[in-house]
Structure 1
Amino acid sequence: MRYVLGVEVVALLAMVAAVITDSAAVPADWRRVGLLVVAGAVHLWLSRRTEETRRDGGPGPHMDTTVVWTLPAMVLLPAWLAVASMLLLRVQLYPVARRPLYRYTFSTAGILLAGLASLAVIRLSGIDFDRAFGVREALVLVAAGTVYFLVSAVVVAGVITLSTPQPTWAMAVGSRRDNGMAAMTMCLGAVAVIALLQTWLAPLFLVPLLCALDWGALQIENLRGDARTDHKTQLLNSRGWHEQASREIVRARRRNSTFAVAVLDLDYFKQVNDTWGHPAGDAVLRAVGSVLRETTREGDIVGRFGGEEFVLLLPDTDAEQATLVAERVRQGVAEMHVAATDKRGQPVLIADRTTSIGVAAGPGGTAELETLLRSADAAVYEAKNAGRNRVRMFDPAGA
């Protein structure tokens, strides 16, 4: 908390110092600030769904692409106009961010501090970009963008490190993809500066390019994960699970050993999305993935088939042992306390979630995977009809 307040106080003092010491606005500045705010608003509206998905995609630091509009404001406008344009964009981004107000205030302070640091680089260089743009001006622009990136990264890495019990390097500084995306948006911010110097309407043509960059980065990430892994839970997806399960069944047949299949279906999961929103539902799915990793055994094959359905292949396991594993998973889900945010970005704690689990077992020499999956799925419906939040073993006689 002291770190958060410290960053906010430093940002506020830096803003006051920059505003009272910088120059007054001229007519060209008003035209530029209006264009940047309009272009930024159009970009936010067109890419809001993509931005929501990217923000929910990982635990590391997130750098929103509005830096494309913030950097030109800091480079070309008087400090008070630059700050005003940045705050206008942040107000518009708040409904998309789905973050509690105190967290959003801190991230705004970090961005403000990074922007003012880049503005300081420009002012200390003594360069007037409206007079000329050559090699020296380009180097100063690169330096300003680099300072913006570093200050923003340090501020976010500090709060992640201090607030996480066991922080990792990837959590603090982000993945290679995160930093690559940040570098590309910085380059586009520099392009926006150059475009504004040439003609004041030019930055509008960056809006579709930036939206395409947002969408393309998300699609590449999803394609990488969707090959074998479910990107929300980091478990195997249907394709990956079937591939790995098929290899395990070949081994079971060769050794004539037993194996079992368990199918999990979260109870009343639609209520989570309807009550708190889809980001909260995604948080619950990730928590279930963690429970499955913690409660299953080494060698068990765990996957998510889609929606609220998960599936386990339990090698060298008979019906009794499979029921014990399934019961351990059921208890783990019932004990979850999931920190998430609601539709307005306010923090919520989701608990008392349950799951219905169906189990089917068979000898490895004769059992067919698809047959056991259908049997376990039938047992899930038996568990739901019996009142939910329970484990049911498939009974061939009852079927």
Structure 2
Amino acid sequence: MVGDSLVATGSGGRSSRFAVPRRLLGTWSLWELPRRGLIGYLLLVDAAALAATTYLFALRPPAPSALLPFSALLAGMILSSEISRPIERSRADTRLGAGLDAAWIFAGALLLPPALAATLVVASAVYRWLRIRRGIPHRQVFAAAATMMSALAASLLPILVGAAPFADATRDFQGFALVFGTGLVFLSVDAALAAPAAEFGAEPSGFAFDAAMVAFGLLIAWSAVDWPFVTIVLAVALVVLHRAGMMRALRGHAGTDAGTGLLTASSWLDGARTQFDLLRGRGTDLSLLMLDLDHFARLNDEHGRSVGDDVLRAVADTLRAEVRAADLVGRFGGEEFVVLLPGTTRFDAHAIAERIRLRIASTSVSLGGRQPDDPLFAGTTISIGVSSHPADGETLDRLVGAADQALRAAKVAGRNRTVVFEAEESLD
């Protein structure tokens, strides 16, 4: 029945012998993307990165001597990222790309065999997943795959033109031109592969930022060959400049989404963490709603993006009208929204979610039809996932993940409904 309220368990819902593959594949948010061509493109890039790396490992196995610079770059990358972790977490909320790690990855593209350069990207992706942010899996996998392809292309360029390895090359204009070209290849491949990212709500990291990281990567590689101790100085300078620049950017950012007037993802997360830590210390209930418009891509295709923007604004207005001033409402990118409800139990959060869902289902925007057969109004429905603290998570990340899982369950169950996450009780 359309509009039902359901419960999603932490074990993936109702059990069956297909529970594990369904959890791994069937509920992956990749399948919720609106265009099959986009899904195919993302999978193609992922597969190409894996296949190319595997082939190059077999074709040009890294010599044991390459393991020392690989280990040094890996250690420097992890250390600098760990120091900058709070800033990188804010940046990682909505941005694709390797971030601060791009400097070390490009240095690896200059110094390491292609397969090891790609492996450095894999190490960066695993570290970011474990220590910075566990975001949408298909988005983070694609970001890593695109960066792997960029590193492979950059490290293969000197080989293809028959140039000497970076460590043995002369430091003259010809050598600089080759390194400059290598940097352009790295940036261009990454930008070209990430261009479709806007289709699923993420933003590329920005050419100027990536170019600055590539420039630092060149200096790191150069110092590692000619004056290794300077690499430590450059690493410290990279972290300091990165932190200062990102802090200025965060302070200068208005914190609101231009299209809806709601908080941006990074601003919402900053406020939500503050609220979460405060209320957790007091032992107060707290709930979270994750909301996603149903078939929004189809609405854009049928009526145009301007109508889609009007619908997003109408939904944002409805959210503001249906929650309290103390509640935190943000836009998570694309057609996804999130609401933090301090001092709200699971039962009350479910009631609020249902009220919002029904209100949005009855909201429409004018199309201004001029012909008798033209539609006059356009509207949408919304799917909502609900999670609550402390039952569904002791951290904000887990609470967001639980609500996201409930939201995906609502989509699978037919959309236009509210699903409450319910962690499966352990059996003694």
Q: Of the candidates 150, 175, 189, which is equivalent to residue 217 of structure 2?
A: 189
Question: Which residue of the partner structure matches residue 91 of structure 2?
Answer: 54
Say whether the 8 Å CA contact 2:98–2:144 is kept in structure 1.
Answer: no
Question: Which residue of the partner structure matches residue 35 of structure 1?
Answer: 72
Helix, strand or coil: the match of 1:348? helix
Q: Which protein, 1 or 2, shows the higher relative CO under an 8 Å CA cutoff with sep ≥ 6?
A: 2
- Residues 326-365 of structure 1 correspond to what in structure 2 (within 5 A)? 331-332=359-360, 337=383, 342-343=397-398, 347-349=404-406
Q: Deviations over 1:12-59 (max 9, x none)?
A: 2322332233364253x3331121011011012111111111122x4x
Say whether the 8 Å CA contact 2:102–2:217 is kept in structure 1.
Answer: yes
Q: 1:223 and 1:19, CA in 2 relative to 1: closer, same or farther beyond 3 A?
A: same
- Residues 80-95 of structure 1 correspond to what in structure 2 (within 5 A)? 80-95=115-130
- AA aligned opposite 1:20: A
TM-fit CA distance, 1:145: 1.3
Question: Which residue of the partner structure matches residue 11 of structure 1?
Answer: 49
Question: In 1, distance between residues paired with 2:165 and 2:181?
Answer: 15
Question: Which residue of the partner structure matches residue 153 of structure 1?
Answer: 191
Question: Percent identity at matched positions?
Answer: 16
Question: Which residue of the partner structure matches residue 235 of structure 1?
Answer: 261
Matched, 1:124 2:181: no
TM-fit CA distance, 1:116: 0.4
Runs (5+) with no aligned partner, structure 2: 1-38, 264-271, 281-286, 292-309, 331-354, 363-380, 387-395, 408-416, 420-428
Question: Which residue of the partner structure matches residue 28 of structure 2?
Answer: none
Q: 1:291 and 1:3, CA in 2 relative to 1: closer, same or farther beyond 3 A?
A: closer
TM-fit CA distance, 1:330: 10
Question: Which residue of the partner structure matches residue 206 of structure 2?
Answer: 178
| Greater mean deviation of Cα atoms: 1-10 or 182-191 | 1-10
- Residues 1-399 of structure 1 correspond to what in structure 2 (within 5 A)? 1-22=39-60, 24-25=62-63, 27=65, 29-56=66-93, 58=94, 61-95=96-130, 96-125=132-161, 126-131=163-168, 132-161=170-199, 163=200, 174=204, 178-226=206-254, 230=256, 235=261, 270=276, 293-294=313-314, 308=328, 331-332=359-360, 337=383, 342-343=397-398, 347-349=404-406
TM-score by length of 1: 0.57
Q: Deviations over 1:296-328 (max 9, x none)?
A: 88xx9xxx9887389xxxxxxxxxxxxxxxx99
Helix, strand or coil: the match of 1:98? coil
Question: In 1, distance between residues paired with 2:138 and 2:149?
Answer: 17
Say whether the 8 Å CA contact 1:7–1:110 is kept in structure 2.
Answer: yes
| Greater mean deviation of Cα atoms: 191-200 or 332-341 | 332-341
TM-fit CA distance, 1:81: 2.9
Q: 1:51 and 1:81, CA in 2 relative to 1: closer, same or farther beyond 3 A?
A: same
Helix, strand or coil: the match of 2:405? strand
Say whether the 8 Å CA contact 1:74–1:119 is kept in structure 2.
Answer: yes
Say whether the 8 Å CA contact 1:291–1:332 is kept in structure 2.
Answer: no
Helix, strand or coil: the match of 2:228? coil
TM-fit CA distance, 1:282: 11
Question: In 2, distance between residues paired with 1:232 and 1:49?
Answer: 25
Say whether the 8 Å CA contact 1:11–1:113 is kept in structure 2.
Answer: yes
Question: Which residue of the partner structure matches residue 167 of structure 1?
Answer: none
Aligned alpha-carbon RMSD (Å)? 4.7
Say whether the 8 Å CA contact 1:113–1:151 is kept in structure 2.
Answer: yes
Say whether the 8 Å CA contact 2:385–2:418 is kept in structure 1.
Answer: no
- AA aligned opposite 2:405: V
TM-fit CA distance, 1:198: 1.3
Helix, strand or coil: the match of 2:253? helix
Say whether the 8 Å CA contact 1:225–1:231 is kept in structure 2.
Answer: no
- AA aligned opposite 1:133: R
Question: In 1, distance between residues paired with 2:236 and 2:326?
Answer: 32
Q: Deviations over 1:242-292 (max 9, x none)?
A: xxxxxxxxxxxxxxxxxxxxxxxx9xx859x97xxxxx97977xxxxx999
Helix, strand or coil: the match of 2:124? helix
Q: 1:26 and 1:61, CA in 2 relative to 1: closer, same or farther beyond 3 A?
A: closer
Say whether the 8 Å CA contact 2:81–2:100 is kept in structure 1.
Answer: no
Say whether the 8 Å CA contact 2:153–2:185 is kept in structure 1.
Answer: yes
Helix, strand or coil: the match of 2:99? coil
Helix, strand or coil: the match of 1:67? helix
Q: 1:225 and 1:13, CA in 2 relative to 1: closer, same or farther beyond 3 A?
A: closer
Say whether the 8 Å CA contact 2:259–2:313 is kept in structure 1.
Answer: no
Runs (5+) with no aligned partner, structure 1: 165-170, 238-265, 275-279, 285-289, 311-326, 354-399
- AA aligned opposite 1:116: L
TM-fit CA distance, 1:69: 0.9
Q: 1:8 and 1:330, CA in 2 relative to 1: closer, same or farther beyond 3 A?
A: closer
TM-fit CA distance, 1:6: 1.3
